[in-house]
Amino acid sequence: MGLLDVESGPNLSPGAEFLFSAISILLCYSLLFLFLLGLYAGFISPMIADYVPSYDKIFSQKSRVSTIIASCFVSIIILGGVVYASVDQYGFQGLNPAIFIPMLWNASHYWKTYSFLRPPTELYLYIFSVMSFEVAMAVVQCIFVSWNPPLPDAVEPAPETHVFMIVAHNSSGGIEPTLLALLKLVRPHQIYIADNGSKKQEEEDTDRLTQRLSDEYYGHRTDKPINVVHISKYGNKTLAQYATIFYLNNEIKAGRTKARIVTMIDDDVIVPSNWSYKAIDEQFKDPTKVALAYPLASSNMDDCFCAGFQDIEYLSANFMRSILDKLGGQLFASGAIATWHIQPLLKVLERHCTTFNGEDLELGCILNRLSDTNDSEKLGLSTSARIGFVADCLIRTAVPPCPVHWYDLVPASIKRKIKPEACSCGEHSFFNQR
């Protein structure tokens, strides 16, 4: 019997046989991916970081002990399972590093190899029928369903307790529409721009733009323009958020502002006119809510298939967020827009590792980790904490139109030397964002 031979399974219809084979293929590739990922994160990356001082700064974040242990555990469990399956079936002569992939492939056919693990055919067919139905309903949802919340009757400027913060980077040429939308909702001095890592000329252009828009708002020269916080040394979104919130917190302590709630947005987000501070205040009447998420949609969904599929993803996520809000709370609020109480946000940002990719997810994870009543005092709260959902304010944001850029695969150290020309789309790729 060859290494890839497996015992005969039950008599199955061609359709069921195909489904079982598909399970084996997916399981094999999943196990291989998890094994290689665990091997890299648990063994290779920490070893290289010990001998190459700049490795963790250039290629990866410094691995945490818990990450290393979990990665080692995953890779060892997979390797142990494959070895066990091979020895159990073929004896020790089946062990050979050169045939690891065939061993893995054989172990993936568990439904043929081990009869006691073989569930009834009807159960498999039921599971795949449900999955197929879910896919069909998702297609119907994407074609016929849209997220159109009702608009309020009127819009009035938000009180001094509400402020907006825009995280910007070399954005003087494209941030004006974002500012004009905000000036319909708040006064100029209630807007803070966290300008991080921009060129000197960009900083000057941003200052002139904000002063001009502020003067136009009041109709005369004003000494209360849009606030701009320049963080020149570092170009990092989380550092910019922390520096601005730290500055804002000092302003609160000095009595120069009454701000208590901040809505953080990206520089390409156009906040709609139906954004209502009253809805925000109503949500925050629940003392356990310290942050709010919003339903999202792609503003450039018609540009290409990649952007269109991300709009579908947003739509599905909106329904899921709505359900989670009724069950308890969100895992995180999107980095495109989120509303926070300022004091808990400062405590959460202090614990952030400042990694760009997934920075919004980490904010949510930190908040949820501290949400228990035993730890919530670290957030300055006397109750547990959670993230709410503002269902009636749809936010449109630009999504990456390109699936991948060739320079996404180039190490950062080499990229800084060759300085490749950026894609004409002007955005990160979907691959780089995720």
Write the pLDDT tens digit of every residue in 237-247. 888 899 999 99
Bigger pLDDT: 17 or 403?
Answer: 403
| Tokens representing residue 190 in the block | 């209630």
For residues 72 and 64, what is the distance between their CA atoms, to the nearest angstrom?
Answer: 12
Write the pLDDT tens digit of every residue in 55-67. 544 444 445 566 6
Whether 129 and 192 share a structural domain: no
Question: Which pLDDT does position 428 carry in this prediction?
Answer: 75
**229 beta partners:** 194
Whether 71 and 182 share a structural domain: no
- Decide if 305 is inside a domain: yes
Least Cα distance to 63 among 48, 77, 73 occurs for: 48
- Decide if 330 is inside a domain: yes
Whether 242 and 378 share a structural domain: yes
Whether 138 and 167 share a structural domain: no
Question: Which pLDDT does position 198 carry in this prediction?
Answer: 75
Q: Which of 382, 397, 412 is the last residue of a domain?
A: 397
Whether 53 and 201 share a structural domain: no
Whether 100 and 245 share a structural domain: no
Q: Whole-number mean pLDDT of the chain?
A: 79
Q: How many CB atoms lie within 10 A of CB 147?
A: 15
- Decide if 99 is inside a domain: yes
Question: Which pLDDT does position 95 carry in this prediction?
Answer: 66
Whether 183 and 89 share a structural domain: no
Write the pLDDT tens digit of every residue in 55-111. 544 444 445 566 667 777 777 887 787 777 777 777 776 666 666 777 777 777 766
- Decide if 418 is inside a domain: no
Whether 172 and 48 share a structural domain: no
Look at residue 380 and tell me whether its pLDDT is greater than 90.
no
For residues 71 and 85, what is the distance between their CA atoms, to the nearest angstrom?
Answer: 21
Q: Say which CATH number the domain at 197 has.
A: 3.90.550.10
Whether 190 and 42 share a structural domain: no
Ranking 216-220, 240-244, 364-368, 400-404 by mean pLDDT, the lowest is 400-404
Q: Is residue 194 within 8 Å of residue 243, measured between CB atoms?
A: yes
Whether 121 and 236 share a structural domain: no
For residues 287 and 381, what is the distance between their CA atoms, to the nearest angstrom?
Answer: 9
How many domains does one find in the chain?
2
- Decide if 37 is inside a domain: yes
Whether 135 and 188 share a structural domain: no
Question: Which pLDDT does position 11 carry in this prediction?
Answer: 55
Look at residue 115 and tell me whether its pLDDT is greater than 80.
no
Which pLDDT band holds residue 273 (cuts at 50, 70, 90)?
Answer: confident
Question: Which pLDDT does position 153 carry in this prediction?
Answer: 53
Q: Is residue 2 within 8 Å of residue 102, measured between CB atoms?
A: no
Whether 67 and 130 share a structural domain: yes
Secondary structure (H, E, C), 213-253: HHHHHHCCCCCCCCEEEEECCCCCHHHHHHHHHHHHHHHHH
Range of the domain at 138: 14-142
Look at residue 400 and tell me whether its pLDDT is greater than 60.
yes
- Decide if 423 is inside a domain: no
Q: Is residue 365 within 8 Å of residue 351, measured between CB atoms?
A: no
Amino acid (one-letter) located at 364:
G
Write the pLDDT tens digit of every residue in 159-215. 999 999 999 888 878 899 999 999 999 999 999 999 887 788 888 888 899 999 999
Which element (helix H / strand E) includes 262?
strand 261-266
Bigger pLDDT: 296 or 12?
Answer: 296
Which pLDDT band holds residue 284 (cuts at 50, 70, 90)?
Answer: very high
**Burial of 60 per CB tally in 10 Å (0-12, 13-18, 19+):** middle
- Decide if 126 is inside a domain: yes
pTM equals 0.70
- Decide if 21 is inside a domain: yes
| Tokens representing residue 379 in the block | 């957030």
Bigger pLDDT: 268 or 1?
Answer: 268
